[in-house]
Amino acid sequence: MAFGGLALALALLVVSVNLLQVASSDGDHARCEGVVKGWAASVAGSEGKDGDKLSLRDLLFFLHIPRTGGRTYFHCFLKKLYTNAEECPRSYDKLRFDPSHPDCKLVVSHDDYSFMSKLPSERTSVVTILRNPVDRITGLTNNSYLSGAHEVRHCVRKHPDLGHFVLQVAKTLTHPRWTQRTKKQMNIWAG
């Protein structure tokens, strides 16, 4: 599947017009429509001067970095472009699907870029969203009422220096898959 930059923008704009039929509520529709129209307006006419075009391969790997807007991107864009049957089964500890299967067209993961080594590079495109790290920590702090993140509020009070705070968060909020070795490395860096 290949899209030109402008063609992709127009296709996503068409998707946004049709969101009313598939959105679960008017609030979801309005939010997604605004996101899609804003994005389409920002990329309209942004095709490279040499006619460069975005070429999307058969398999899309969406590397979702938490607190970067990925949930909105997934629901407003990807869920509208891919059917449930085209979304590969989610796996968080090991590859639990066959990426060469023709129905597997969308991989969504919080994993890291090393996950690409498990996918067929000749037919895989990667997309991710980046955000200013300070804004990510601020967002995490503002949403620290979420499950598992309540410690953030205490860290902010205890360590007002942002650099030390980030290291403390890395030390205390460990991922379930992290090994003892990883935790020891975190302790070295966080002091």
Is residue 54 over pLDDT 50? yes
Query: What pLDDT sits at residue 10?
Result: 36
pTM: 0.52
Give the list of residues 6+ apart from residue 38 with CB closer than 8 angstroms, or none: none
Query: DSSP of 82-120, one letter per residue?
Result: S-GGGBPPP-SSS--S-TTSTT--EEEESS-GGGGGGS-
Q: Rounded to whole angstroms, how far apart are CA atoms 7 and 44?
A: 9
Is residue 188 over pLDDT 50? yes
- Which of residues 182 and 29 earns the better pLDDT score? 29
- pLDDT tier at 166 (50, 70, 90 boundaries)? low
- pLDDT tier at 20 (50, 70, 90 boundaries)? very low
- pLDDT tier at 106 (50, 70, 90 boundaries)? very high
Query: What pLDDT sits at residue 43?
Result: 66
Q: Could you read off the pLDDT of 59-72 as tens digits, one per residue?
A: 999 988 887 888 88
- pLDDT tier at 113 (50, 70, 90 boundaries)? confident
Q: Domain coordinates of the chain in residue numbers?
A: 1-54, 57-130, 133-190
What three-state secondary structure class fits 12? helix
Q: Rounded to whole angstroms, how far apart are CA atoms 125 and 62?
A: 9
In percent, the amount of the chain with pLDDT more than 90 equals 4
